[in-house]
């Protein structure tokens, strides 16, 4: 099987590329390296069944050329991280919305199955836990740039499902809940790699707000396995699935856990949201997914708990990456 992965040089995309190559598939990655890194693809590039195309998903002609020779598409290309979203809202909205429109249009032309990775951010400020795929979204007002990402991703979902309902393009939608693992950068606000690097360096661990906001963290290998199995099953077309873990923890407790598991002497430094992201910043207090639907569909179960995730990332940061499978 031949696959195209947009945003394949990113953290999740590079792991997905390796897993597909590992099972014998061919993979083309389209990426402009705006947030991804060539370094992420060093193992994938050792395979003769791998091809890298430099470019943007907003380049309609290039995207059309890329989809011609493949059987299925993973659309992962997107702006990532709260910090980037706050600092560059124009790029965030244009990349997400225009990119998805071009990718879906190209897939429709050749009737290619396509999987869209969306985000738990779409649930917004809802307190109706756990979040089910058909739960209501509560998004903040447009004057707060923080909600641009959630709104743009929600529009992508509407567009994907419109292609399904109107022309039966086989689309699968996935809302990812805090996917973490080796290669994830803390540059754009990703909390676990940032806290681990601070702990290993003996620096204060910065926790934004009061630290009582909670999250569930999913190892990238668990997420990638779900992405592959969902696109493999034709009956998943036109459906939306949560992908994540239900093991939730507050960010303050996460910082304490990372300090303990790294043996660090670091302390915790609480930083007001306004200082980190500007005036009027709003955060989601809790993100806990319901995994009932994906469990029923593909028997999805996570194989990594939070402790193993932390140790995996610590090993990677220390240069002892055990996740080295290569086709």
The catalytic residue positions are 149
The token pair that represents 127 in the structure block: 């307190």
Q: Phi, psi at residue 86, to the nearest 5°?
A: -70, -40
3-state DSSP call for residue 319?
coil
CB 211 within 8 A of CB 255: yes
Cα 126 → chain centroid: 20
250-259 as b/e, with b when 16 or more CB fall inside 10 Å?
A: bbbebbbebb
Tokens for 20?
A: 């597909």
H helix or E strand, kind and range, residue 183: none
Q: Which two tokens stand for residue 81?
A: 């991280």
Angle at 243 between CA 6 and CA 326, to 5 degrees: 55
Token pair listed for 173 = 């939608």
The rounded distance, in Å, linking the Cα atoms of 129 and 42 is 40
Contact 153, 121 (CB under 8 A): yes
Residue 309: half-sphere exposure toward Cβ, Cα within 13 Å:
27
Is there a contact between 186 and 200 (Cβ–Cβ < 8 Å)?
Answer: no
49: DSSP letter:
T
* CB burial readout 267-278, b (16+ within 10 A) else e: ebeeeebeeebe
Cα distance between residue 254 and residue 310, in whole Å: 10
Which residue bears the tokens 């990238």? 220
């Amino acid at each position: 099987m031949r696959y195209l992965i947009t945003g394949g040089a990113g953290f999740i995309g590079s792991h997905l590329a390796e897993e597909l190559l590992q099972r014998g598939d061919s993979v083309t990655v389209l990426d402009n390296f705006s947030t991804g890194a060539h370094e992420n693809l060093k193992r994938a590039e050792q395979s003769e069944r791998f091809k890298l195309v430099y470019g943007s998903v907003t380049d309609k002609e290039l995207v059309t050329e890329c989809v011609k020779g493949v059987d299925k598409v993973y659309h992962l290309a997107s702006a990532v991280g709260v910090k980037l979203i706050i600092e560059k809202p124009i790029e965030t909205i244009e990349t997400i919305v225009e990119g998805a429109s071009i990718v879906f249009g190209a897939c429709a032309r050749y009737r290619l199955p396509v999987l869209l990775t969306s985000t738990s951010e779409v649930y917004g400020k809802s307190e109706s836990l756990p979040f089910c795929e058909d739960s209501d979204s509560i998004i903040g007002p447009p004057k707060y740039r923080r909600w641009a990402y959630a709104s743009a991703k929600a529009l992508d979902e509407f567009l994907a499902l419109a292609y399904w309902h109107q022309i039966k393009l086989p689309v699968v939608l996935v809302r990812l809940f805090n996917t973490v693992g080796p290669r994830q950068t803390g540059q754009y606000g990703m909390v676990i790699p940032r806290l681990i690097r601070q702990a290993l360096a003996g620096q204060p661990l910065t926790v934004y707000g009061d630290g009582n906001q909670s999250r569930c963290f999913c190892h990238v290998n668990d997420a990638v396995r779900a992405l592959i199995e969902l696109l493999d099953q034709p009956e998943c077309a036109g459906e939306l699935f949560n992908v994540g873990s239900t093991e939730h923890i507050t960010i303050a407790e996460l910082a304490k856990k990372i300090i303990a598991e790294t043996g660090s002497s670091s302390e915790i430094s609480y930083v007001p949201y306004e200082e980190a992201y500007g005036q009027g910043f709003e955060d989601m207090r809790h993100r806990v997914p319901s995994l009932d639907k994906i469990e029923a569909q593909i028997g999805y179960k996570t194989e990594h708990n939070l402790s193993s995730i932390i140790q995996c990332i610590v090993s990677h940061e220390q240069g002892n990456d055990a996740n080295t499978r290569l086709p």
